[in-house]
Structure 1
Amino acid sequence: MRIAVPPPRHDAVASGLRDGRPRRRGRRVLAVLLALVLVLLLAIGGVVAYLTSSIGGGIARIPDAFRGIDAGSRPATFGGTTFLLVGTDSRAEAPTTGIDAAPGVDAGSQRSDVIMLGTLAPDGEHASVVSIPRDSWVDIPGRGMNKINAAYAFGGAPLLIRTVEKLTGVRVDHFGVVDFAGFTSLVDSVGGIDVQVAQATSNAGVDFRAGENHLDGAQALAYVRQRYGLPNGDIDRAARQQNAIKALLATVQEKATTDPTALYAFATSVGDAVSVDDSLSNTGLVQLALENRNLRGSGVAFVTAPVAGLGREGEQSVVYLDERRSAQLWGAVRNGSVAQYADLNPTEALSATPS
């Protein structure tokens, strides 16, 4: 059964995150794009080679993320670099990502809760972040039609990569999983972030007033976790997550020129939160940062894959993507014109003031 719904609001971004426990161990993981953010921020900071080479060694690597993927069946490269980033809904007591990940903990043993494509455009001056709803009803290679987040549980990183490449026609160059718990320390390392809030809300004992709010790490965590009390629940919460990422980029860009020590503190915190595929070496990070040294936070476009409607497949609630508009979006990712796509499709772009 399929139920038609209007296109998502301008602040709508796909989400499926759930509230977790407040302590370090056992918090759920969230794809806050730190692999992409690391490259963006190091490029912005103007301290590329030193920071990247020294910090890159502290980032955990994921082995065999591209295992068994037939090179001949993959989409062609387009000159840019694309990261597939996920957060899982694991309830593991130990971290599943970052340098503190416990031996034997497999981040791919759970369904992915957040799926995002972060792309650095070929021109070195633009980037995009595209969210794919976790409940999107898609064809998973070898498994048939299912929710896209099931691909990670069925076959880990390799199957999710194949699924996303088949859906989008976009070649995935690198894969990352990010631990949500590191978000607090990252925000604190740069002295907090400033976010705009559409209306007064509260969550986890933190009050957010309408207008600009300066948030420390704990407050920012409450901000990105809020779902209840927002007009569109999970969709608004996902918009807040992207809004926080955007604010973090802006803050670090400012710190890069006024307080290099804070920039270094931020970058050294990344290893506590992120794991990336083992094909992304320290040298590769340096090269990416150099290639994108002219990138600024204002050059990053945030959008969500267009939704045609909601419905049910058996017992599952699912999201049906708009095939025509999705094809336009994926084409824009490949040719580096996501910002132009967002201008033409404002209902899919991140609002300046999400709920």
Structure 2
Amino acid sequence: MPTEPTTPRRTARDDAYTVDTRRRPKRSGGGAIAPSRPAERDADVVDTRGRGGARGSSGGPVEPQEPRYRWRRGRIILITLLVLLLAWIGFMVWVPMQAWGSVNKVDNIPDGARPTDTSGYNYLLVGSDSREGLTAAQRKKYATGNAVGNRTDTIMLVHVSESGGKPVMVSLPRDSYVPIPGHGRDKINAAYSIGGPKLLTETVEQATGIHVDGYVEIGLGGFAAVVDSVGGVDLCVPRDMNDKKAGINLKKGCQTLDGGNALGYVRSRYTDPLGDIGRAARQRQFLGALMKKAATPATVLIPWRYKSFADASAAGLAVGSQTSMMDAVRVLQAMRSVSNDQGLSLSVPTSDLSYRTSAGALAVKWDTERAKALFTALKNDEPLTEAPPGSTVPGAKNS
């Protein structure tokens, strides 16, 4: 009888088994010759085990190992994201630093004695009607005219408390009738026309008793560009406004204003029943809305819009020689707080909006007692949480 090959033992699931593919020599009497033990090394070995079925030397299963390439790929992705994050942070820091380097510096530090510098920060925020930087076409489009020299359309005190009070923006109407050092009494904006930022700063300090810690000025030349760089500002127009001198014809209601219309909105006063007081309230409203729009993700997270806003702001900006970038940031943060109803938007208390001066001109006369109380509170950094008496104007958009 032929010798049958030895039957292999039954193996566990997924174990390797040996397939003998060798030819067996024939015996003369028939039947195959069983291979000797040593010859089994020549047999083909076929490994049919899965990775999870491998067994270690002790007979137990070997734990599966994550392929090394997956770990390397994860590390590359992590490093790439980290590099992008650092690049983004660097860009966010570089843009305002680069823009700040191009800001015009002016001398606003008064000579002689000044009020005592007390707790808190007080900044003079000025909007001048300088046409510098506007083309002839833009002057026509924005109805700015061709007046020479510089005057102030906006004068505000911005107070940032160190005692826990809300940020405060106080409008000083441009027609306020106050003493101008060395030039008698006149409208406050005359100080800027006569002696520029230095005399205006001295005038405000002497009239309020508050030490001015920094000076920020924006001109008409950069105003419209700043608004357009953020895609316009959202404002609620309190009434129909058709003012040819300001170049606007706006309807009542909430809307998005482009640079030209926004400029006309804050300049218009002849169609406002509150005159200069109403315009000052609209200016505070606008500045708050602008900062609110500038802080949205649509501005900050879009690189070209973020840089465009920074460059446009710098182009139309002038700051005091001792005003730091941190000072400018505090002013911007205060305006944003006011727009979010986390700050106070005020106007200096007045007693007569049509005061007749000795020269026969009409001016704004402050309420001496209430104005002094407001300025004393700011000077002493008293934590204001609500508007003091007389510092808001009924019928005006105060925030």
Query: Paired residue for 1:232, among 274, 283, 300?
Result: 274
1:247 is matched by which residue type in structure 2?
A
- Unmatched tracts of structure 1, length 5 or more: 1-44, 96-107
C-alpha distance in structure 2 between counterparts of 1:349 and 1:333, whole Å: 22
Match of 1:21?
none
- The question of 1:182 aligning with 2:225 is answered no
Bigger shift: 251-260 or 133-142? 251-260
Describe the shift of the 1:79–1:267 C-alpha distance in structure 2 as closer, same or farther (beyond 3 A). Answer: farther
Matches within 5 A, 1:1-355: 49-62=93-106, 64-66=107-109, 69-70=111-112, 73-88=113-128, 110-122=150-162, 126-203=166-243, 206-255=248-297, 259-261=301-303, 262-280=305-323, 284-286=324-326, 289=329, 296=337, 297-298=339-340, 299-309=342-352, 310-336=355-381, 340-342=385-387, 344-345=389-390, 347-348=392-393, 351-352=396-397
**8 A Cα contact 2:235 2:255, kept in partner:** yes
**What is the SS of the residue equivalent to 1:146?**
strand
State the shift of 1:179 in Å: 1.0
State the shift of 1:246 in Å: 1.4
Describe the shift of the 1:219–1:173 C-alpha distance in structure 2 as closer, same or farther (beyond 3 A). Answer: same
Describe the shift of the 1:213–1:291 C-alpha distance in structure 2 as closer, same or farther (beyond 3 A). Answer: closer
**8 A Cα contact 1:137 1:318, kept in partner:** yes
State the shift of 1:195 in Å: 0.7
**8 A Cα contact 1:48 1:289, kept in partner:** no
Where do 4+ consecutive residues of structure 1 move more than 6 Å?
45-48, 290-295
State the shift of 1:341 in Å: 4.7
**What is the SS of the residue equivalent to 2:357?**
strand
1:211 is matched by which residue type in structure 2?
G
C-alpha distance in structure 2 between counterparts of 1:162 and 1:195, whole Å: 34
- Unmatched tracts of structure 2, length 5 or more: 1-88, 135-147
2:281 is matched by which residue type in structure 1?
A
2:296 is matched by which residue type in structure 1?
E
C-alpha distance in structure 2 between counterparts of 1:207 and 1:276, whole Å: 33
C-alpha distance in structure 1 between counterparts of 2:243 and 2:149, whole Å: 30
The count of corresponding residues between Structure 1 and Structure 2 is: 291
Match of 1:25?
none
**8 A Cα contact 1:135 1:318, kept in partner:** yes
Instruction: State the Cα deviation string for residues 154-204 of structure 1 (Å, max 9, x = none).
Output: 333222222211111111112233211322111111111111122233345
2:233 is matched by which residue type in structure 1?
I
State the shift of 1:288 in Å: 6.2
Instruction: State the Cα deviation string for residues 218-255 of structure 1 (Å, max 9, x = none).
Output: 22223223334332344333322222111112212223
Which of 1 and 2 has greater Rg? 2
State the shift of 1:306 in Å: 1.1
C-alpha distance in structure 1 between counterparts of 2:254 and 2:173, whole Å: 28
The TM-score, its normalising length taken from structure 2, stands at: 0.62
C-alpha distance in structure 2 between counterparts of 1:115 and 1:244, whole Å: 14
Describe the shift of the 1:154–1:183 C-alpha distance in structure 2 as closer, same or farther (beyond 3 A). Answer: closer
The TM-score, its normalising length taken from structure 1, stands at: 0.69
State the shift of 1:279 in Å: 1.7
**8 A Cα contact 1:342 1:348, kept in partner:** no
State the shift of 1:324 in Å: 0.6
Identity within the alignment, %: 32
C-alpha distance in structure 1 between counterparts of 2:153 and 2:98, whole Å: 31
Q: CA RMSD in A?
A: 3.6
**8 A Cα contact 2:165 2:382, kept in partner:** no
